[in-house]
Chain A
Amino acid sequence: MPEFQLLGQKPTRQGFGEGLVVLGERYDNVVVLGGDITESVMTSFFRDRFPDRFFSIGVAEQNATTIAVGLALSGKIPFFASYGAFCAFRNADQLRISVCYNNVNVKIGGGHAGVSVGPDGATHQALEEIAVIRTLPNMTLVVPCDYMETKKATIAIGEIWGPSYIRFGRANVPWFTTEDTPFRLGRAEIFRDGSDVALIACGAMVWQALLAADMLAKRGISACVINNHTIKPMDVETIITAACRCGAVVTAEEHQIYAGMGSAVAEVLAKNYPVPIEFVGVRDTFGGSGDPDELMEKFGLTWKSIYAAALVAIERRDKGSTGVRRPTEVPRFTPADGYAA
């Protein structure tokens, strides 16, 4: 079980930019398309290192996405990065037909995700991309938790075949994973073991979930923290096993609570092992201008919300208010690697 300490504050976009350079060094056919915000999403690292493999497409997300398809059909591994607000919505039709139906090896980097974009305000704060992207067949969707994991995830999606989307942010956020922290695409990582409530988080909310688990421990509540970075395809086994063990679940994401990661967890558990679930996320509203920390507080995207939600989930479980009681037996699931069952 990994132990975590704060290593500093770094934006996840930096991990994306650095990951692309690693991919560029490893593979001659990795190509990057720029959408005029190259510095901002840090594809500039790749541009400066491999100018022959960088193509500026201008402010034209639809065209960039489909040009990437043409490149992929020519044996290249194209990455197109922009703000999630533009490269998951403006080009949604292109993603659906030309990328996913065509099933080509196009990679999308969606930056400036969540309200932590801060002063830019609601137009630039992507809060709905998980919902859009995870409904697309053939797509892989990953939402890494910090700078280092974003770097690993960027490299990982470059090394698998198929349409992929990686979601990252702009602001400095806690950096707490290292080169040695386990990461495998498609496998949720148990970052802290516990048996009373499962805190399932993605992105920057993973750190908040760890903080919440610390605070819950002070009340004698043992919380399991799961870094559910791969939203699609989701690690169903780890989710179900944790629900079986704890009987109460909280999901946390910097995204709308509708149709996001939490909803995906609910889909899995509703079918396989229904337990009380509380959802922490943005509640059907747009963002707004402000300091990132201020906004995270305002929208309830901190450890406090997760802590409160955990208490509610546990209470619902213990009162059996949903008719679901704490499980007495663990059904036949193979615990995922690393899970101390």
Chain B
Amino acid sequence: MKAENLRIVFRSTVYENRPRRSEEFAEIAREIRRDIIKMLVLAGSGHSGGPLGTADIHAVLFFGGYMRYRPKDPWWPGRDRYVLSAGHLCPVLYATLARAGFFPVEELRTLRKYGSRLQGHPGRDMGLPGLETSTASLGQGISIAVGMALSDKWLDKSDRRVFALTGDGELQEGSVWEAAMAAAHYKLDNLCWIVDNNDCQIDGRVPNVMSIYPIDKKFEAFGFAVMQCDGHDYEELSTCLEQFLENHRRAIGKPTVIIARTKMGRGVSFMEDDYRWHGKPPTPEQALKALQELEDPYITVVEPAEV
């Protein structure tokens, strides 16, 4: 079977950014996961595991009223900024931005295609609304986020906030800890650093490749306000983000880190918690099965004659 044999329809639903109940987050996250599978099977390459594993985090962060942004005015100077330091997770970011209304959902079909604004790894040169910076050489995005937070807090004296997400394997990059040191040194309580702790990387389980544990104690030692949560539990994620906003309001003088325990490939049974899904897309057969599991209302196999 080829990708052309699948009837792939993107619903045009766009979601508002406001306080929500867990069931609503679940529905949004499921929509994002469907988008990810569709984008990847159409692209024929890309990363499946991480984007699926962080769909819940992105759903809560972007659609729970925690981040301030205006999809129709993407470079609004008062916005909070989000840096996806783990740039290879970009399918989840693209899906999230589209579902927030930054650009048409149909554009998700162009992932990794020539001339697309949805580059294989985030590229700011394509001018995608909502994409703050190019990332993907691991470890760099978090330092960029520190620079943004430094500017907001100490130069512009604004109340803007910066959110950033790194992987856990990414913490093996030494410069990540240079960023951590600087964030604490400059008391960046406007920085919310989320660690996607799925314990998987390309070569295997994180402790077998190069252990980064204990993560919490490392960040505590660096001077962070440390929180841990189940990265698939909407209430726990919401509580953590609320706590960060409170930390910022109270100006606690410390950056916040949320260590979110996740499962790579979450939501698709045969991908879940399997590091081999780090960097490959589903085959059309697998995409069909995944979209059925994710209750996609449109997915069917079309006969070659209809193609």
Contact = CB atoms under 8 A, between A and B. Distances in A.
A63 B143 contact: yes
A126 interface: no
What's the interface size class on B, roughly? 20 to 34
A62 B141 CA distance: 11
Contacts of B156: 74
Contacts of A63: 143, 146, 175, 178-179, 181-182
A215 to B, nearest CB: 49
Contact of A102 (B134, B149, B154, B182): B134
A98 B125 contact: no
Nearest to A101: B134
A66 B140 contact: yes
A71 B175 contact: no
B150 A62 contact: no
A52 B124 CA distance: 30
A73 B144 contact: yes
Interface in A80-105: 93-94, 96-98, 101-103
A98 B85 CA distance: 11
Given A57-B182, A58-B181, A73-B144, A66 B175 contact: yes
A70 interface: yes
B144 A103 contact: no
B43 interface: no
Interface string B125-145: 100000011111101100111
Nearest to B137: A97
B155 interface: yes
B148 A74 contact: yes
A201 interface: no
A67 B133 contact: no
Contacts of A60: 175, 178, 181-182
Contact of B146 (A53, A70, A78): A70
Contact of A71 (B137, B150, B185): B150
A186 B263 CA distance: 53
B194 to A, nearest CB: 17
A82 to B, nearest CB: 14
B123 A101 contact: yes
A68 interface: yes
B137 A74 contact: no
B178 A53 contact: no
B219 to A, nearest CB: 16
Nearest to A137: B125
B175 A62 contact: yes
A16 B154 CA distance: 25
A73 B143 contact: no
B124 A67 contact: no
B189 interface: no
B196 interface: no
A76 interface: yes
Contacts of B174: 62
A53 B155 CA distance: 7
A137 B182 CA distance: 29
A67 B150 contact: yes
A29 B181 CA distance: 24
Given A60-B181, A66-B143, A102-B124, A93 B133 contact: no
Interface string B162-204: 0000000000001100110110011000000000000000000
A69 interface: yes
Task: Give the interface centre of A58, A68, A72, A102 by most chain B CB atoms within 10 Å.
Answer: A102
Pick the most buried of A52, A68, A73, A76: most chain B CB atoms within 10 A of its CB.
A73
A66 B173 CA distance: 14
Interface in A18-77: 29, 31, 52-53, 55, 57-58, 60, 62-63, 65-76
Which of B125, B137, B151: most chain A Cβ within 10 A? B151
Q: Which of B143, B174, B175 has the most CB of A within 10 A?
A: B143
A67 B140 contact: no
Nearest to B176: A63
B147 A101 contact: no
Contacts of A58: 178, 181-182, 185
29 contacts: A53-B155, A57-B182, A58-B178, A58-B185, A60-B175, A62-B174, A62-B175, A63-B146, A63-B179, A66-B143, A66-B146, A69-B143, A70-B150, A70-B151, A71-B151, A73-B133, A73-B144, A73-B148, A74-B151, A74-B155, A74-B156, A76-B155, A78-B147, A93-B140, A97-B135, A97-B137, A98-B137, A101-B124, A102-B125
A-B residue pairs, 5 tightest by C-beta? A70-B147, A66-B143, A63-B178, A74-B151, A67-B147
Given A58-B181, A62-B143, A98-B140, 18 more contacts: A31-B155, A52-B155, A53-B155, A55-B186, A60-B182, A62-B175, A67-B143, A67-B144, A70-B143, A70-B148, A71-B148, A71-B155, A74-B147, A75-B151, A76-B155, A97-B135, A97-B140, A98-B135
Interface of B: 123-125, 132-137, 139-140, 143-152, 154-156, 174-175, 178-179, 181-182, 185-186
